[in-house]
Every structure is written in structure tokens, then in C-alpha cells.
Amino acid sequence: METLELDLSPGAEARLDALLAGRAGHPVRVALLVGEVAGPGPGELRRVGGLAVLVRRAGHQVVLRGAGERWRLLLELTGLAQALPLE
């Protein structure tokens, strides 16, 4: 399965739309690059969750790439570790 990478810089939602354009019926894995976010909090988690919903609604898989210890802890504490798998 093809893997596409998406960083979380401003405009990620528009870039995601462009990445997924024309891939209907051809599932891909989208790796959200969270390693640049050193101190994730509720805002970052909400944003990543929103991107993950967009990916899944389009029929694709999503994983988080580069998650540090704080991301892992945040995912465990919020119960989202299974919904937002790490790679």
C-alpha cells in the first residue's frame, strides 16, 4: 500500500485534499508527521483527529509518524491510541 506523508504546518487540510484527489478506489496510508509538535495539547490533538476523520471518510488509512513520548501519553490518556495508530 502506498504511503503519503503530511506535515501539520498551516494549510495541511488543503494539502490533504490535493494528496487524496484522484485516489478514490485506491486506498493509501496517510502518515501524519507529528514529530515536529514537541508539546502536543488539546488543540493539536483536535487538529490531528480532524485530519484523521477526513482521511478515513475518503476510504484511506491513517497513522501518526514521529510521535514522541508526550504524544504517546496524550493518546493513551484520551483513549485515542487505537484510533490514531503510531508508526
User: Tens digit of pLDDT for each residue in 23-73?
Assistant: 878 899 999 999 988 788 888 999 999 999 999 999 999 999 999 999 999
User: Domain with 61 in it: what CATH number?
Assistant: 3.30.750
Confidence band for 6, pLDDT divided at 50, 70 and 90? very high
Question: Does 74 reside within a domain?
Answer: yes
Range of 56's domain? Answer: 3-78
Domains: count for the chain: 1
CA angle 63, 72, 51 (to 5 degrees): 35
The 8-class DSSP code of residue 63 comes to E
pLDDT at 59: 92
How many other β-carbons are positioned within 10 Å of the β-carbon of residue 22? 8
pLDDT at 76: 93
Confidence band for 84, pLDDT divided at 50, 70 and 90? very high
C-alpha cell at 38: 514537541
Question: Does 10 reside within a domain?
Answer: yes
Question: Does 84 reside within a domain?
Answer: no
Give the pTM: 0.90
Question: Does 83 reside within a domain?
Answer: no
Question: Does 85 reside within a domain?
Answer: no
Question: 3-state DSSP: the chain helix, strand, coil percent, rounded to 5?
Answer: 40, 20, 40
Question: Does 86 reside within a domain?
Answer: no
C-alpha cell at 84: 490514531
